[in-house]
Amino acid sequence: MPPPASLSPSSTTASGLRPARRRSGLLRSQAFCGVVFIAPALIGFTFFYLLPTIRAFYIGLTNWSLLRAPKWVGFDNYVRLFNDEKFWKAIWVTFLYVLYNIPIQTVLGLLIAVLLKQLTGSVLVRSVMLTPFLISNVIAAMIWFYMFDPVLGFVNVMLKAIGLGAHPFFSDPNLALPTIAFINIWRHMGYTALLFYTGLQSIPEHLYEAARIEGSSEWRTFRSITLPLLRPVLVFVLVTSVIGSFQIFDTIAVTTQGGPGTSTRTILWYIYQEGFVSMRMGYASAMSTVLFLGLVLVTLVQMRVLRSGESDLS
C-alpha cells in the first residue's frame, strides 16, 4: 500500500508524526520492544500450544479418570492401542472418510473455480457459493439431518415422488459415512472453489495466449499450464483439508454419534468417547498423540509427493 501523499520525505516531520522526546535507550531498543510485542502471543503459544503438546504425551503415560490422581503406567497405553482393534477400526473409518471427502471436494472445487473464471466471476455468484461455508458444521449437519430424515426429509420425499423410495441414510451402516462426507463436501466446495479461483486468477494470461496460438486443446492446456501453476494452492488446499478431515467431529456429534454400529466412529470421536464418556483420559491422550504423529507423517508425505517446494511459474 503506498504511503499517503502527505508523508513526503521532504517535509520536516517526514513521517507526519511528532518527534518523540528522547526516551531511555531501552524503549528504543528493538530487542526490548520486540519482546514486549511478542509477549502476549508467546504466552498464548506456550500455554495453549507448546506445553499442551508435550503434556499430551505425558498424560498418555498415565491412567487418569480426572476424578482421582493420575496413575503412572509407562507405555502401557501406547502398547494397548496398537493392539486395540477399535482404535484401528476408527483409523480405518477416518481414512475412508478422507477418501470419500477430499477427492470429490477438491475436484468439485476446481470445477466450480473454472466455471467461475470462464463464465462469471461476479460477486453475487461467488457469495452464493461461499454461503455454505459461513454456517457452522453443526447447523449444516442439522439441516441435512432433517433433509435426509426417512419420513419427513425433503430429500426422501423427493426420492419417493420419483419412485426411488425413501432411504434411511443415517441408519444404514453402508450409507452413513458417505452421507457425512456429502455434508462436508457440500459445506466446503464453495470455499475450496474460491481458493482455486484466486489461484487461477494469478496465472498470467500470456501463457494461455501462447497455448492458443500453438493450437493446444482445452484439456492439454489445463493439464500442462493450469494444473502445474495451481500447485501451491493445490498443496495448501489438500494439506489443510486432509488435516481437517482427519479430525471430523461436529457432524458426527449431531447426526450419528459414531453409529450405526461403528461405521462412523472416527478417530476423534473414539478419542472423545474414551476420554470424556468413559473417563479414560490417559488412554485418550495416548491415542491423540499417536494421531498427531500420524498426521505429521501424512502431511510430510503429501508435501513430498506434491513437490510443494518447487514453483512452476518459471
Partner 1 sequence: MYRLRNLLVATCSLAAVSAHAATEITYWLWDALQLPAYQAAAAAFEKANPDIKVKITQTAWGDYWTSLSTGFVSGTAPDVFVNHLSRYPEFVANDLLVDIAPMIKKDNVPTDIYLGGLYELWGKEGKQYGLPKDWDTIALIYNKEMLAKAGVDPKELENLTWNPQDGGTFGQLIAKLSIDEAGNNGLSPNFNPKKVKQYGLLVDGAPDGFGQVEWSHFAVSNGFKFHDGPWAEKFYYDNPKLAETFKWIVDQMNKGFIVPARDSRQLGANGFFAAGKGAMALTGSWMINWYLDNAKFEKGFAPLPVGPDGRKSMFNGLADSIWVGSKHQEEAWKWVKFLGSEEGQKIIADYGVVFPAIKSAAEQAQQVMSKKGADVSPFLQEATDPKVTFLFPIADHSADVLRATKVAIDAILLEGADPANTMKEVNEEVNALFE
Partner 2 sequence: MKKSSKRIPVGQWLGYAALLILAIISIGPLWIAVKTALSGPTAWLTSAGSLVPHETTLFNFQRVLGFVDSSDPRITQTGMAKINFFRALLNSVIFTVLAVAPQIFFSATAAYAFARLKFPGRDLLFFLFIAATMIPGAVLFIPNFILIKDLGWLNTFQGMAAPYALMTPFAVFYLRQVFLATPKDVEEAARIDGASYFSIFFKMILPMHSGALATLAILVTVGTWNEFFWPFLIGREENVRVIAVAINAFRTQQQAGSPDWTGLMACTVLGMIPMIALLVFFGRKVVESFQFSGGK
Q: Which of 155, 178, 154, 158 is nearest to 255 (CA)?
A: 178
| Nearer to partner 2 among residue 115 and residue 207 (C-beta) | 115
Nearest to 266 by CA among 236, 287, 235, 281: 287
Per CB under 8 A, which region of 8-16, 83-91, 98-106, 166-174 contacts partner 2?
Answer: 8-16
Helix, strand, or coil here: 98?
Answer: helix
CB 97 within 8 A of CB 248: yes
Residue 23 contact, options partner 2, partner 1, none, Cβ 5-8 Å cut-off depending on partner type: partner 2
Give the C-alpha separation, 92 to 234, whole Å. Answer: 25
Q: In terms of CB distance, is 70 or 172 closer to partner 2?
A: 70
Q: Please, which residue, 119 or 151, has the CB nearer to partner 1?
A: 151
**Which of 44, 276, 293, 313 contacts partner 1 by CB under 8 A?**
276
Q: 174: which 3 cell numbers?
A: 453402508
Site string for partner 2, 79-118 (x = CB under 8 A): -------------------------------xxx-xxx-x
Cβ-based nearer residue to partner 2, 85 or 219: 219
Q: How far apart are CA 149 and CA 155, in angstroms?
A: 8
Min. distance of Cβ 88 from partner 2 in angstroms? 17
Q: Give the burial string for 187-220 (b: 16+ CB within 10 Å, else e).
A: bbbbbbbbbbbebbeebeeeeeeebeeeebeeee
Q: Does 18 bind partner 1 (CB under 8 A)?
A: no
Among 27, 79, 164, 301, binds partner 2 (CB under 8 A): 27
Window 253-292: residues binding partner 2 (CB under 8 A): 253-254, 267-268, 271, 275-276, 281, 284-285, 288-289, 291-292
- Helix and strand numbers (H, E) in the chain are 16, 2
Pick one of 63, 216, 224, 247: the residue that binds partner 2 (CB under 8 A).
247
Of 96 and 155, CB closest to partner 2: 155
**Cα distances (Å, whole numbers) of residue 281 to 63, 66, 68:** 7, 7, 11
Q: Which of residues 128-147 bind partner 2 (CB under 8 A)?
A: 128-139, 142-144, 146-147
CA distance 294 to 219: 36
> Under the criterion CB under 8 A, does residue 68 sit at the interface with partner 1?
yes
Residues within the interface to partner 1 (CB under 8 A): 65-68, 149-151, 168, 170-173, 259-262, 273, 276-279
